Amino acid sequence: MSIVMKEFRCLECFTTFESDELPRRGSICFKCHIKSVRLGFTYGQEDFHGPTVKERADEQVRVAKEAGINAEPVGSRWI
């Protein structure tokens, strides 16, 4: 069984590209599709700005000690 490749024309840059079926994005070539994709992030942004994970964990331990609670980071108990 052979796969029949069809030729499509991009609606944005008018170049032709081949595929076995029309992509889900429509008749848009991959190059134009990538331009429209936002390569950012929504969740976890605070991990890249501000205190590190270790600094936040140390702060939590310090606040717990001030409150009279013997807290330690989870990872240190299993090492």
The helix (run of H) or strand (run of E) holding residue 9 is strand 6-9
Residue range 19-69, pLDDT digits in tens: 888 888 888 888 888 887 766 666 666 556 777 778 888 899 999 999 999
Q: Are 5 and 20 in contact (CB under 8 A)?
A: yes
The SS3 of residue 8 is strand
Instruction: Give the predicted TM-score (pTM) of the model.
Output: 0.42
Residue range 1-23, pLDDT digits in tens: 567 888 889 999 999 988 888 88
Residue spans of alpha helices (H) in the chain: 30-36, 53-66, 74-77
The candidate with the shortest Cα–Cα distance to 31, out of 41, 50, 46, 16, is: 16
